[in-house]
Amino acid sequence: MGRATRKKDEEIIIHRSGIKVPYEWSAGAYASRFFTELRDNKKIWGTKCPKCNRTYMPPRKNCPRCFVDITKWVELGNIGTLVTYTIVRYKEPLIQPMEPPYAYGIIKLDGADTGLTHLLGEVDLNRIKLGMKVQAVFREKREGNILDIKYFKPLE
């Protein structure tokens, strides 16, 4: 606890702490369908805009370019191209999905026009290359979230 004084007779007390609040949120209809397909079928789906024909992955309900509703779902494969990446070398135990060092990348799945940020696995961190082909590896026990894709591994 710290103290700061404003005026002679007015004291301001500052208390620093962290608050953990349990909460729930709804993924919505589109994300729910996307996560259900990952969990139940190991399939990756996107949505395709009827006006500009862009395919969004993760799926979107509305096209950010055309501002129209998107109702068409398209199945994408589990193979894509690494667009960019970063290597994490520090340890932050409460929020990291794996032990460092490890890599995150943006993967543009074949057939999609947008990229998905995800973990890279089974990869030599010194041999990662932009443009390399990668493939999704699914968890054995899936729960209906983005980590049902365990990581993307290089195809070589």
- pLDDT at res. 97: 82
Q: Render each residue's pLDDT in the chain as its tens digit; 156 residues.
A: 455 555 667 777 787 877 788 878 788 899 999 999 999 999 999 999 999 999 999 999 999 999 999 999 999 999 999 999 999 999 987 788 888 999 999 999 999 999 999 999 999 999 999 999 999 999 999 999 999 999 999 997
Contacts 24+ apart (CB under 8 A), 32-39: 33/59, 33/73, 34/58, 34/59, 35/144, 35/145, 35/146, 35/148, 36/144, 38/138, 38/142, 38/144, 38/145, 38/146, 38/148, 38/149, 39/142, 39/143, 39/144, 39/148
- Tell if the pTM clears 0.85, that is, is over it: no
